[in-house]
Amino acid sequence: MKDKLIIFDTTLRDGEQSPGASMTRDEKVRIGKALERMKVDVIEAGFPAASQGDFEAVQAVANAIKESTVCGLARALDKDIDRAGEALKGANSSRIHTFIATSPIHMKMKLRMEPEQVIEYAVRAVKRARQYTDNVEFSPEDAGRSEEDFLCQILEAVIDAGATTLNIPDTVGYSVPGQFGETIANLINRIPNSDKAIFSVHCHNDLGLAVANSLSAVLNGARQVECTINGLGERAGNASLEEVVMAVRTRQDVFSCQTGLDTREILTCSKLVSSITGFPVQPNKAIVGANAFAHESGIHQDGVLKNPETYEIMKAEDVGWSANRMVLGKHSGRNAFKSRMTELGHEFSSEEELNETFYCFKQLADKKHEIFDEDLQALISETSSFSEEEHIKLIALKVCSETGEMPRSTVTIRISDQELTGSAEGSGAVDASLKAIESLVESKATLELYSVNSLTNGTDAQGEVTVRLEKVGRIVNGQGADTDIVIASAKAYINALSKLQSPDQRKHPQQGDV
Ligand code: KIV
Ligand code: ZN
């Protein structure tokens, strides 16, 4: 019987700390449900003390998730722990994750604390967290650059105080695999009460070693890995969930543990996170990149045709690349539509929402005969952003584009019951349309990113556009999908403008003060 390797996903917390990757409450719930369908053990939903928006997002995820444990991050401060405890009240199973820095440079320069004081804060935080839940995780931040003797001291003390998981973060991505694995083995061997807690790792990818370091830790006794979908996260990101999980599954001859994940859900999660955050997946990315299972060279193709195992170490279907993802079409009825949406994790909150989304589906099916899961996901994004914060709506768009002429676009939008029409010229149809919208809204925001991605194959595919806008330090992403990419671009721009105009509730936490 192999050990269980706990998969702790922090896409909604550390992943969200990537500049420009902030997610709304409803987007977090959608991703949370996709992670739950994949049978992720622990979902870190956010940092409740960071802002009211973060608090509400963690609360919403805690209420929506039934199978996975929902976790909230807290500095080693009473007020943070209380906020996390409060936000997690509705969860079936909750965890509080508290942390304080332990490296000499962090203790001296950032915390301005003596090591003894740091231990006191840690012990007090763990005891306070235990008043809310018996599932408490402690992280010595910057453990990768902390002294081993001090780590042994603080970890022994927090286990005595009631910590059940000890997470060893390589916060700045400084470790290398052999050395990091040895540290984990040493901690487990040297800490007298280490058998009372599970050892976990949380590796950043600054040197491109996050997955290698995590796996080396697993080989040396770690039984939880913290990771994110597509490796999203601060700076160069975190260990990528799909790579860790598939490495452990593919190399069962090497690992004496296994995860309980349904790996067939990996691709759906990857696409969902990429579409919500606007962070594309590079084509040669392991497991989820478009080329991950594509064989170009003749020798490889010949081998694969004779026997897939000649060049393939995993089956594409095992991570969700299935040949037939066509699910619905123009003749599909309301029930078939509703049940596929439920399978994709979307519950309709009212008959009205179902009717409205079904109407949009029918309109799409008239333009595009085969409707894939990706199209349905885009429909969910579109209709949920209407209800959440879209107070600007695209009513009509007309564009005139001709060789040798400057394209001109005329756009009508509705802002809080008022219809406005504006026109502009631009270097292309998209440029002209976005300028026409800007002439009406006058946001003066800076366009930081514009990207178009085809949702499925074929020239009738929907183009999904992501637009990133920045204004006085606030960054938002907008998405829009349509079979016409000019319309998709206008929708994405309007979606981003709506977010920019809604109150900013999600300030990114400053973890520095403790
Ligand atoms: O990287 C890090 O140290 C963290 C901690 C909060 C675990 O994200
Ligand atoms: Zn981190």
Answer for the pair 62, 90: CB distance below 8 angstroms, yes or no: yes
Same domain as 58, residue 165: yes
Whether residue 279 has its Cβ less than 6 Å from ligand 1:
no
Residue 321: pLDDT over 90: no
Answer for the pair 72, 46: CB distance below 8 angstroms, yes or no: yes
pLDDT at 347: 82
Cα of 179 vs centre of ligand 2, distance in Å, is 19
Whether residue 139 has its Cβ less than 6 Å from ligand 1:
yes
* Mean of pLDDT values over 460-473: 91
Is 130 within the bounds of a domain?
yes
Is 151 within the bounds of a domain?
yes
pLDDT at 512: 45
Is 340 within the bounds of a domain?
yes
Q: Which residue has the tokens 């991570």?
A: 319
Is 453 within the bounds of a domain?
yes
Residue 156: pLDDT over 60: yes
CA distance 461 to 482: 8
Cα of 473 vs centre of ligand 1, distance in Å, is 23
pLDDT at 49: 98
Is 56 within the bounds of a domain?
yes
Domain that holds residue 305: 293-324
CA distances from 324 to 327, 370, 373, 421 (A): 8, 11, 10, 43
Cα of 211 vs centre of ligand 2, distance in Å, is 13
Residue 484: pLDDT over 70: yes
Whether residue 14 has its Cβ less than 6 Å from ligand 1:
yes
pLDDT at 213: 98
* Mean of pLDDT values over 84-97: 98
For the CA of 139, the closest atom of ligand 1 is: 7
Q: What is the pLDDT of residues 49-87, one digit of tens each?
A: 999 999 999 999 999 999 999 999 999 999 999 999 999
Same domain as 169, residue 247: yes
Helix axes 115-130, 78-87, angle to 10 degrees: 30
Ligand closest to CA 97: 1
Of 139, 166, 224, the one to substitute when testing ligand 1's pocket (max ligand atoms within 8 A of C-beta) is 139
Of 18, 54, 77, 141, the one to substitute when testing ligand 1's pocket (max ligand atoms within 8 A of C-beta) is 141
Q: What is the pLDDT of residues 286-311, one digit of tens each?
A: 999 988 987 767 777 777 778 888 88
pLDDT at 511: 45
Please indicate whether residue 375 or residue 396 has the higher confidence score (pLDDT).
396
Same domain as 123, residue 24: yes
Is 365 within the bounds of a domain?
yes
Whether residue 169 has its Cβ less than 6 Å from ligand 1:
yes
Answer for the pair 15, 45: CB distance below 8 angstroms, yes or no: no
Cα of 141 vs centre of ligand 1, distance in Å, is 6
Q: CATH number of the domain that 14 lies in?
A: 3.20.20.70
Task: Compute the mean pLDDT over every residue in the chain, rounded to the nearest whole number.
Answer: 92
Same domain as 481, residue 350: no
* Mean of pLDDT values over 195-217: 98
Residue 508: pLDDT over 60: no
Same domain as 10, residue 74: yes
Residue 509: pLDDT over 80: no
Same domain as 381, residue 396: no
Number of domains in the chain: 4
Whether residue 202 has its Cβ less than 6 Å from ligand 1:
yes
Which residue has the CA at smallest separation from atom 8 of ligand 1?
14
* Mean of pLDDT values over 181-193: 98
Please indicate whether residue 190 or residue 327 has the higher confidence score (pLDDT).
190
Same domain as 269, residue 141: yes
For the CA of 14, the closest atom of ligand 1 is: 8
CA distances from 331 to 336, 355, 407, 462 (A): 10, 16, 37, 19
Same domain as 403, residue 463: yes
Residue 40: pLDDT over 50: yes
Residue 513: pLDDT over 60: no
Cα of 223 vs centre of ligand 1, distance in Å, is 17
Whether residue 230 has its Cβ less than 6 Å from ligand 1:
no
Three-state secondary structure along 79-133?
Answer: HHHHHHHHHCCCCCCEEEEEEEECCHHHHHHHHCCCHHHHHHHHHHHHHHHHCCC
Please indicate whether residue 311 or residue 427 has the higher confidence score (pLDDT).
427
Residue 510: pLDDT over 50: no
Q: CATH number of the domain that 422 lies in?
A: 3.30.160.270
Structure tokens at 489: 């671009």
pLDDT at 324: 46
Same domain as 262, residue 129: yes
pLDDT at 388: 54
* Mean of pLDDT values over 383-395: 74
Range in 230-244, 296-310, 341-355, 460-474 the model is least confident about: 296-310
Which residue has the CA at smallest separation from atom 4 of ligand 1?
171
Letter string b/e over residues 372-382, b meaning 16 or more CB atoms within 10 A of that residue's CB: bbbbbbbbbbb
Whether residue 138 has its Cβ less than 6 Å from ligand 1:
no
Cα of 142 vs centre of ligand 2, distance in Å, is 9
pLDDT at 386: 56
For the CA of 143, the closest atom of ligand 1 is: 3
Amino acid letter, 207: L
Of 171, 175, 200, 514, the one to substitute when testing ligand 1's pocket (max ligand atoms within 8 A of C-beta) is 171
Say what the pTM is.
0.86
Same domain as 28, residue 118: yes
Same domain as 37, residue 9: yes
**Of the candidates 24, 469, 67, the residue with the CA atom closest to the CA atom of residue 260:** 67
Is 373 within the bounds of a domain?
yes
Is 155 within the bounds of a domain?
yes
Same domain as 459, residue 418: yes
Where does the pLDDT of residue 177 fall: very low under 50, low under 70, confident under 90, or very high at 90 and above? very high
**Going by C-beta distance under 8 Å and a sequence separation of 6 or more, which residues neighbour residue 24?**
57, 385, 388, 389, 499
